[in-house]
Amino acid sequence: MTKEQFLSKLDASLNKLPSQEKQDILQDFEEHFAMGLAEGKTEEQIAESLGSPAQIAKDLIATYHVEKVEATATTANIFRAVWAVIGLGFFNLVIVLGPFIALVALIVAGWTVAGAFIVSPLLVIINTVMYPEIFQFFDLFFSIGLTGLGLFIAIGMYFATRAVTSGFVRYLKFNVRVVKGGMKDA
C-alpha cells in the first residue's frame, strides 16, 4: 500500500468523526510517513508496519463514541458506543453484547413492573366499568397499595438505571483499552 492509499483508506473509514478530529489524526500519520521516508524507508514498508487502516479507524471511532457517552449518556449515544466497541473484534460480540442485552432487559423489566403497579387502580376501574357485578373493595385498595409500591420501585429504578449506565460506560472504556488491536498476530 502506498502512502496515498493508506491515508485515503483511513480517511474514508473515519468519515463519521468530526472533520477537525479527522484532520488531526491524518496529520499524525502524514508526519509518521514523512519521518519514515526521511529515514530511507519506502512508503510500502511504512504502511506495512502501521497495519490495517480499517482496524486503526475502528479503534479511534470506538474511543470517540465512548467519550461522547461519558459526556452525555443519551440512549442513542449508548447504542452507538456499544456498536462501535463491538466492532473492535469478534470477541466483543460475546463480552460486550451479551452483558448489554442482559442489562437492558433487566432495566426494561424493572420499569415495566413499576409502570404496571402504578397504573393498577386504573385497571381495576376499567374492570369495574366492564363487569360491575364482580367489583370488590379489596381489589381497589390492593391496587392503590400497589401504586405506592410502584412509585418506590420507579424511584429505585431511576437510581439503578443511572448506576448501571455509568458502570457500563466504565466497562466500555476498559474494553477499548484492553481489547484487540495493535498486535501483529491479531
Partner 1 sequence: MNVQFKKGVLELCVLVLLDKKDRYGYELVQKISDQIDISEGTVYPLLRRLTKEGYFTTYLKESTEGPPRKYYKLTDVGRSYYQSLLEEWQEFTNGVNQLIKEGVIDD
Per CB under 8 A, residues contacting partner 1 are 24-25, 27-32, 34-36, 38, 49-53, 55-56, 59-60, 63, 67, 91, 176-186
When the beta carbons of 10 and 157 are compared against partner 1, the nearer one is 10
Does the CA dihedral 96-99-105-108 come out positive or negative? Answer: negative
When the beta carbons of 63 and 143 are compared against partner 1, the nearer one is 63
Tell me the three cell numbers of residue 121.
387502580
Say if CB 157 and CB 149 are below 8 A apart: no
Residue 75 CB, shortest distance to partner 1, in Å, is 23
Residue 3 CB, shortest distance to partner 1, in Å, is 13
Angstrom distance (rounded) from CA 97 to CA 119: 33
Say if CB 88 and CB 180 are below 8 A apart: yes
Angstrom distance (rounded) from CA 110 to CA 98: 19
Largest CA distance in the chain: 94
When the beta carbons of 91 and 142 are compared against partner 1, the nearer one is 91
Say if CB 25 and CB 14 are below 8 A apart: yes
Residue 32 CB, shortest distance to partner 1, in Å, is 5
Question: Could you give the angle at the alpha carbon of 181 between the alpha carbons of 73 and 61, nearest 5°?
Answer: 35
When the beta carbons of 25 and 97 are compared against partner 1, the nearer one is 25
Residue 28 CB, shortest distance to partner 1, in Å, is 5
When the beta carbons of 88 and 124 are compared against partner 1, the nearer one is 88
Residue 96 CB, shortest distance to partner 1, in Å, is 13
